[in-house]
Amino acid sequence: MRKPLRAPKAAGQARPAVLAIVVAVATAVVVLGYAFLTRETGRKPAPPPEEVPEQPKPAPVAPSPRTSTKGALIVPIPPAKPPDAPVPSAFKDAFFYDDFSGKELFAGGKWIPTRDGDFREAVADIVGGRLRFRVGTIGTDDKTVKHLGLRSAQAVVDLARPVELGAEIDWNNQANGCYLYASLFVCPTATDKTPAAEKDWLRFEYAGVPPGKNARASLYRHRAGNLGELCTEGWPTKQKAGRPIANQKVVIRLDRENAEVIENGSAWWGPAPHGLSLDRAYLYLEVRSHSNYPPRELFFDNIVLRPARPGL
């Protein structure tokens, strides 16, 4: 005999059980959270972190120099100066000399060029180990006399003691030496023109005499602008024709009062008073010419200043 079927329980009968479970779970969560919170608040606070002493700051480091040379100023290193050439035996006692053995006239700093007047051609250089002056005056102004020369860069003539000025002057076998002059000046003032325009000087020179083969020597003094003749070999009343000259060796002995000129080893003038007041002076070498002459050449060599040697 079949058992009678039971009707299913209504859905509302299961809800109380579900709610009970939910409440139980929620209660457990609340209890656990409360327990966790109370445990954290019961702990002692963590000690503060230890203070670390401040370390000293390192000293600033200079930036390293640039290694690039881009844009840098590069200064060339000059070559080493060659040793001075030994003094030739002929000038062992000299305090100033020039034998013109170099290639460049102004390289050694001994000389300053001088010039005054108009030239068609004017050259001062070294040729064959000698100082050459070459002057041409064709077509130049007839009213001017032309001067070309050198001046010592320093006042090398010191008359604190007697001195001796030596020079070789080569007239160079002039075909026409008219109004051509080769001069030695001792002058206390410096100029880049001609010492002839200065107030004080002593001048020894050779002058070409017409018709041009011969020359004559002369010695002049210029004091406070006034010209005085010391020796002219009798010119103009005598020696009008001049005399032949070649490579002349001239020595002038000089002190504060007197002068003496020796030519080619023989006395030419003096000793006698020169009439100047000189302590220190510049040395000038000069040639001069009048206008309308073709190029002519004169030579100087073995210029020397030394203590005077009496009896030479």
Q: pLDDT tens digits, residue range 272-292? A: 999 999 999 999 999 999 999
> Quick one: fold of 97-307?
Jelly Rolls (2.60.120)
Q: How confident is the model at residue 238 (pLDDT cuts 50, 70, 90)?
A: confident
Residues 6+ apart with CB under 8 A from 261: 204, 219, 231, 250, 251, 252, 253, 267, 268, 269, 270
* Per-residue pLDDT tens digits for 85-143: 788 888 999 999 999 999 999 999 999 999 999 999 999 999 999 999 999 999 999 99
Contact 193, 288 (CB under 8 A): no
